[in-house]
Structure 1
Amino acid sequence: MAKRSDEEEVKVLGFWVSPFVLRVQWALKLKGVDYDYVEEDIWGGKSALLLNSNPVYKKVPVLVHNGKPVVESLLILEYIDETWTHPGHRDSILPTDPYERAMVRFWAKFAEEKVLYGGYRAMCLSGEEQLNAANSVAESLEFLEGAVRGKKFFGGENIGYLDIALGWLAYMLEVWEEVGSMKIMNANKFPCLATWMKSFVNHPFIKDSLPPRDKMVHYFEERRKVLASK
C-alpha cells in the first residue's frame, strides 16, 4: 500500500469480525492508504480511545485521521473517497454521476437494513420464525440480483462503493447459514449474485483480508447461544 507521510496519522479502531470495520479496511486498501489498526475488545472492555473518539455510539469502526475521528462505516467510506483523491491513489470508489451516487447509497442502506440485519436475526432464530426471517432476506436478495446483473462488480469492471458496502455478503452469509442451520442464498436462483460473490472474495485486495472461516463460525455460534438465552 502507498505510505502516508510522517505528518499524516491514520488509525482504524475495529473488531476483527465486524463487517462494518472490514468495509473501512477494504476502502483504505483499494485507495492505497497505509494505516494503523487498533483491535478493540468490544465485549470485554472498550478502550478510552474508542470511547473518546465515538462518545455517542461507543462502537467500531472509527477512522481517526490526524486526530479527528470519523464514525459510521458508510460515512467513513465517503470520507475516505473524498480525502484521498490526489495522484498515487485510486480513482473514486463512488460513481461520478449524481444519480448513480444516489442509487448506490440507496442500495447500500437497503442491503444493510434488509439483508445484513435480517440475515443475522435469522441466524439467531429457530423454527417458523427463522423460516419467515430467512424468506424475507431471500426476497431482498432478488433486488440485489437485479442490481448486479450484467456486471462483474456492482461498480462495473472494478470494485466500487457498493461492492465494499456489500462485501460482507460474499463470505459471511454462508457462515450464518451454517450456524443457524438454514439456507438463504441459492446460487441457482441468484446466479449473478453468486458470480459476484466469487469475484469479490477472490479479488487480490480482498482475499487475504478475510477473517478465518472456522474462527467466524465459532464466534457466531457463541453469539447465537448468548442471544438465544435472552
Structure 2
Amino acid sequence: MAEEDVKLLGVVGSPFVCRVQIALKLKGVEYKFVTQDLQIKSEELLKYNPIYKKVPVLVHNERPINESLVIVEYIDEAWKGKSILPADPYQRALARFWAKFIDDKVFGAAWKSVFTVNEEEREKNVKETHEGLQFLEDELKDKFFGGEEYGLVDIAAVNIAFWVPLVQEVAGLQLFTNEKFPKLYKWSQEFLSQPTIEECLPPRDPIFAFFKGRYESLLASAK
C-alpha cells in the first residue's frame, strides 16, 4: 500500500482540533499538523474548507474532511485499530446523538456563559449549561460513555472535561463541579488521565492565559 498523506489543519488549544488529534492518536495514524492563523485565513484553509473557513480540517491524500465529529467518524472508518463508534447500529445512533447534544446544548451554552457581559443572558446560559450537564450525568452509566473503554461521546466531551473547567475559572463561575455533577466529574478525571488523552491535550497555562486575556478585553470593552 502506498504511503498515505495525512495533514491536520488546526490551532493549538482548540477543543475541536483536540478531538481529531485523539482519534488519530487512538488509531496510530501518522500526520502532519499544519498550524493556522484564524485571523488571516491561509490559502490552504480556504482551499480545503471554502464553506466554513475554519479548523479542524483533515486532508487525507488531498481529500479534505471538515467538522470535528464528522472527521472523527471518518478516521474510525478509514483506519483499522480500536473502534471509536459502537458496532451495534442503535448504539451508534445514540452515540451520534449525544455527541451532537454536547455541542448543541452544553458546550455552546457554557462558552456563552463565560464570554458574555449581559447578566440576564449569562444567567440563561448558565441554566442551560446545568440542564445539559444534568442530562449527561444521568446518561453516564459506566466508567465511560462508551462503557469500559472510551468512544465517540467521550471524545466529543473532551471540551467539557478540559475546557469548561478552564473557562469557568477565568470568569469565576461554577458551571461544572464535583458537587453538582459527581459522576460526570469523576468521568472527566478518569478520561483526562488516560495516556492517549493526556498526550493530545494542550498545555493548560498558556491556554488559560489566552482566555483570561480575551475575557478581560471583553469586560473592558463593555465599560
TM-score (norm 2): 0.93
Select the residue among 17, 20, 25 that pairs with 1:24: 20
The reply to whether residue 169 of structure 1 matches residue 169 of structure 2 is no
Aligned partner of 1:49 among 24, 44, 48: 44
- Give me the whole-angstrom Cα distance separating, in 2, the residues matched to 1:26 and 1:179: 25
Paired with 1:152 and 1:104, the residues of 2 have a C-alpha distance of 15
Residue 215 of structure 1 corresponds to: 206
Question: What are the ranges of 5 or more consecutive residues in structure 1 without an aligned counterpart?
Answer: none
Number of the residue aligned with 1:71: 66
Which residue does the alignment assign to 1:156? 147
User: What is the distance in 2 between the residues matched to 1:53 and 1:208?
Assistant: 27
Q: Any idea what SS the aligned residue of 2:65 has?
A: strand
Residue-by-residue CA offset, 1:163-186 (whole Å, 9 max, x unaligned): 111112111111111111211113
SS in 1 for 2:196: coil
- Contact between 1:125 and 1:180, CA under 8 Å: does it hold in 2? no
Letter matched to residue 115 of structure 1: V
| CA distance, structure 1, for counterparts of residue 85 and residue 36 of structure 2 | 29
- Kindly provide the amino acid, as one letter, of the partner of residue 140 in structure 1: G
Pick aligned residue for 2:110 from 119, 134, 155: 119
- From 72, 76, 79, the equivalent of 1:81 is 76
SS at match of 1:205: helix
2:57 corresponding residue in structure 1: 62
Q: In the alignment, is the contact (CA less than 8 A) between 1:13 and 1:37 conserved in 2?
A: yes
Provide the C-alpha distance between the structure 2 equivalents of 1:9 and 1:208, rounded to a whole number of angstroms: 22
Say which of 169, 173, 176 aligns to 1:185.
Answer: 176
The runs of 5 or more residues in structure 2 that have no matched partner are: none
| Residue from 183, 192, 197 that aligns with 1:206 | 197
Displaced runs of 4+ in structure 1, greater than 6 A? none
Q: Offset of 1:189 from its aligned partner?
A: 2.5
Q: 1:35 aligns with which of 31, 43, 50?
A: 31
In structure 1, the residue corresponding to 2:157 is in which secondary structure? helix
Q: Does 1:136 align with 2:131?
A: no
Q: Work out the percentage of aligned pairs sharing the same amino acid.
A: 47
Cα distance in structure 1, aligned partners of 2:213 and 2:155: 27
State the alpha-carbon separation in 2 of the partners of residues 74 and 200 from structure 1: 18
Q: Which residue of 2 aligns with 1:101?
A: 92
CA contact (8 A) 1:13 1:40 kept: yes
